[in-house]
A = this chain, B = another copy of it.
Amino acid sequence: MSQFQEKTEITRIERLAVDIYRLTLLSPEIASAAQPGQFVMVRTTNSKDPLLRRPFSICQTSSGKYFQILFKVVGRGTSLLAHCREGEFLSVLGPLGNGFQVDYNSANCLVGGGMGIAPLLFLGKTMLRKCKEQQPIVVLGARNKDELSPLVADFKELGLLVHAATDDGSLGRHGLVTDVLKNISFGTECQFSVCGPTPMMRAVHFFCKEGEYACQVSMETAMACGMGACLGCIVPVEKGGYAHACSDGPVFNAKELLWPIQ
């Protein structure tokens, strides 16, 4: 297993929106082992409060040396991360979990909502590298333009076309990503890779079920360890019982989960 516990140096901190930040971290080990959809567990403080690490998707890697995480400040851990300084070191575990399993030569659609867009950038970039002929269809949603436009810009920089939707209509379509999906025609072979708030993933799953498209979703749960040890991060599965988001996922075949997940 290529997992590492690293003191990674923060080489860059960018504030993309009022409460959205992107950190660039130096770790050749993690950067070169990472797969799209995998995540890292980050210690947000040297103190014992908050105690536990926080999970973040790997949002991008570069030069096999750096990787990025993109996050929104929602509580104390993310607030501490936002107050870090360049040059400081963060303790990071990773890369963890199972990423997206995609057929790079098939038609692909990436659907992201909010911070769920983070792992899709990594996935989109990988798709472009692995298959020059075909570009994935990208559908991104967020609350408003301020939050969405810096993320859309990243995809555009890769040369990808983005279909956007915002809750308030300030960028792209006024509404949900599923409203956008309904207006696109997908080939039957199209495979969906989805990450975002659970209600959104549920909606996309049902859209895919109807259209009989393959659909993978990346699940977010509370996590204490990130490596299959605490059994805290469960999601109910179709066949009964639970799977563990950190070690069986976080990316699951949507059909194997027991919807609706709360």
Contact = CB atoms under 8 A, between A and B. Distances in A.
A49 interface: yes
Contacts of A47: 45, 47, 49-50, 76
A239 interface: no
A132 interface: no
A252 B99 CA distance: 67
A76 B48 CA distance: 11
Interface string A31-68: 00000000000000101111000000000000000000
Contacts of A48: 49
Contacts of A49: 47-49
A48 B45 CA distance: 12
A240 B54 CA distance: 53
Q: Top 7 A-B pairs ranked by shortest CB distance? A: A49-B49, A48-B49, A47-B49, A47-B47, A45-B47, A47-B50, A47-B76
A76 to B, nearest CB: 8
7 contacts: A45-B47, A47-B47, A47-B49, A47-B50, A47-B76, A48-B49, A49-B49
